[in-house]
Amino acid sequence: MSEKTTSTTILLASGVTKTFTQDGLAAQALKGVSLSVGQGEFVSIVGRSGSGKSTLLSVLSTLLKPDQGQIIYNSADLAQATEAEINAVRHRDFAVIFQFHYLLPYLTALENTLLPFMRGLRPVSAEQRRRGLECLERVGLADKAARLPGQLSGGEQQRVAIARALVKDARILFADEPTGSLDSATGATVMELLAGIRGDGLSVVMVTHNEDYARLADRVVRMEDGLVV
C-alpha cells in the first residue's frame, strides 16, 4: 500500500471529557482528549488498563456521549447530534468489533456476516448474499460460510466479526482489543487482516495493549490517565 503524505481527516475529536459516577464516586475517564483520524488511516490506541482507551473508542464510535468536546464527522458534531442523526451515521458508516465477537450462536458464519442487512424476518437479496460471501472470502473463510460459530476457532470467529464489519462498506472500523481473547499466533493473523483492509475508503481505529500489534498501525496514540500523551 502506498504511503500518502497528506491525508484527509475523516474524524476529529477535540477536548473530549467523560466522567463516570458510580456509588457516589466520580471517575474522570477522559480529561480533554483530542485526536484525528485520516481517511484510510490505521490508528492504534495504546495504554495501560484503566487509562481510558475503551471510553475513548466508545465516544468516537458514538456508543457513549461525551460530557464536553466535539466529535466532528462529515462536518457535523456528533456530540451535539440528535439520536436519529447518530443512528444514521452509525448504521451507514461505522462498524465496531470487540474483544469478544458477539456472533449469534444459532446463525451460520454467512448469516452472521449478513446481519447488518437483515431487517426482521425479511430475507436478504441475492446481491447482498454475494457480497457477504465476498467478505468471508476476504477474511479467508469462504469455505466455512455454512458453519455455526461453535464450529469455528476463536480466531475464525473474530474474522467473521470483521467480515460483518466489511459487508456494509463502513468508512471507519472501530476495534477494542480485537485480539485480546486470542492466542498470539491467531492474534497476529487477525492483526494482519486489520492492517490489510484499511485503505482509501476505510479507516481503522484500534485499541490494544499489545505494543507489537500497535506498531502495525500507521500511527500510535498513547493514553495515560485519561489523556493522550
Ligand X SMILES: Nc1ncnc2c1ncn2[C@@H]1O[C@H](COP(=O)(O)OP(=O)(O)O)[C@@H](O)[C@H]1O
Least distance to ligand X, CB of residue 20, Å: 3
Binding to Mg ion by residue 189, rule CB under 5 A?
Answer: no
Least distance to ligand X, CB of residue 6, Å: 31
Q: What residues between 39 and 68 interact with ligand X by CB under 6 A? A: 47, 49-55
Nearer to ligand X, 21 or 75 (CB): 21
Nearer to ligand X, 7 or 210 (CB): 210
SS3 21: strand
DSSP letter string over the chain?
-PPPSS--EEEEEEEEEEEEEETTEEEEEEEEEEEEEETT-EEEEE--TTSSHHHHHHHHTTSS--SEEEEEETTEETTTS-HHHHHHHHHHHEEEE-SS----TTS-HHHHHTGGG-BTTBPPPHHHHHHHHHHHHHTT-GGGTT--GGGS-HHHHHHHHHHHHHHTT-SEEEEESTTTTS-HHHHHHHHHHHHHH-SSS-EEEEE-S-HHHHTTSSEEEEEETTEE-
All three cell numbers of 121, joined, read 424476518
Binding to ligand X by residue 27, rule CB under 6 A?
Answer: yes
Nearer to Mg ion, 56 or 86 (CB): 56
Among ligand X, Mg ion, none, what binds residue 20 when CB lies within 5 to 8 Å by partner kind?
A: ligand X
Nearer to ligand X, 53 or 168 (CB): 53
Among ligand X, Mg ion, none, what binds residue 51 when CB lies within 5 to 8 Å by partner kind?
A: ligand X
Query: CA 70, CA 53: separation in Å to the nearest integer?
Result: 17
Least distance to ligand X, CB of residue 39, Å: 25
Q: What residues between 118 and 157 interact with ligand X by CB under 6 A? A: none
Among ligand X, Mg ion, none, what binds residue 113 when CB lies within 5 to 8 Å by partner kind?
A: none
Among ligand X, Mg ion, none, what binds residue 199 when CB lies within 5 to 8 Å by partner kind?
A: none
Least distance to ligand X, CB of residue 53, Å: 3
Q: What residues between 28 and 57 interact with Mg ion by CB under 5 A? A: 54
All three cell numbers of 179, joined, read 485480539
Binding region for Mg ion (CB under 5 A): 54
Binding region for ligand X (CB under 6 A): 20, 22, 27, 29, 47, 49-55
